[in-house]
Amino acid sequence: MGTPRDSREEQARAVVDRLEAEYPDSTISLRYSNRFELLVAVVLSAQCTDARVNSETEHLFEKYDGPEDYANVSQEELAEDLNSITYYNNKAKYIRNAAAKILEEHDGEVPDTMDELTDLPGVGRKTANVVLQHGHDVVEGIVVDTHVQRLSRRLGLTEETRPERIEEDLMEIVPDGYWQQFTHLCIDHGRAVCTARSPDCTDCVLADICPSERGDSEVDLASGEPW
């Protein structure tokens, strides 16, 4: 990391303060009514918009009541129910297998530890962090989605490209009381202003402290996400 940690800590605090003022009601946008529905929604949200996921789960959660229903439905039927979601065949398989494992090893309850969650099919650290934070009120990391990845690099908070390494950098400089909220703030700002392809730098509350310039694509190209 080329930038000293003290400088990155100061930058992170400024980013959090400004975005919190800009988006005071920032929170998770996925809709769910219990921990298993949250798990399903987060698995479905990989490379898919939350709006699309919410549209699909509105019907999905009426048809399937819990892990037993998902474990017992056929792969073909569940995939058909998810066919407007990206990678629906793989996600159907992950959800069915995760449901079966939760029934067999966790008495039908979504586990509450990082190790147990990431042991479920289709569940990585990002998904596990969301489930822990919003399902169990346990915050032990920072959810690094595409918005967090893009903004944290553009803002000079990390030079890493892998989500796990980005999370490690952010956990060193973002105050731990803001680990959960940091993700939601980045998501809101990433959707409204600091978009992947056409960021509105002229109307950005972070413009004067952002080291990235529009048109200088090196930061985004390194993470596979061009301006």
Q: Which of 6, 81, 119, 126 is catalytic?
A: 126
- Tokens 């960021």 correspond to what residue? 199
**What single-letter DSSP state applies at residue 55?**
H
Q: Which of 91, 101, 145, 188 is catalytic?
A: 145
User: 48: annotated binding-site residue?
Assistant: no
3-state helix, strand, coil in the chain (%, to 5): 60, 0, 40
What is the rounded (10 degree) CA torsion for 129, 104, 86, 59? -100
CA distances from 19 to 47, 127, 173, 208 (A): 24, 23, 16, 13
The alpha carbon of residue 174 and the mean position of all alpha carbons in its chain are separated, in whole angstroms, by: 17
Active site residue 126: yes
User: 201: annotated binding-site residue?
Assistant: yes
User: 204: annotated binding-site residue?
Assistant: yes
Active site residue 25: no
CA distance 140 to 137: 10
CB atoms within 10 A of CB 169: 21
Tokens of 174: 């973002």
Binding-site members are 194, 201, 204, 210
Catalytic residues: 126, 145
Binding-site members for [4Fe-4S] cluster are 194, 201, 204, 210
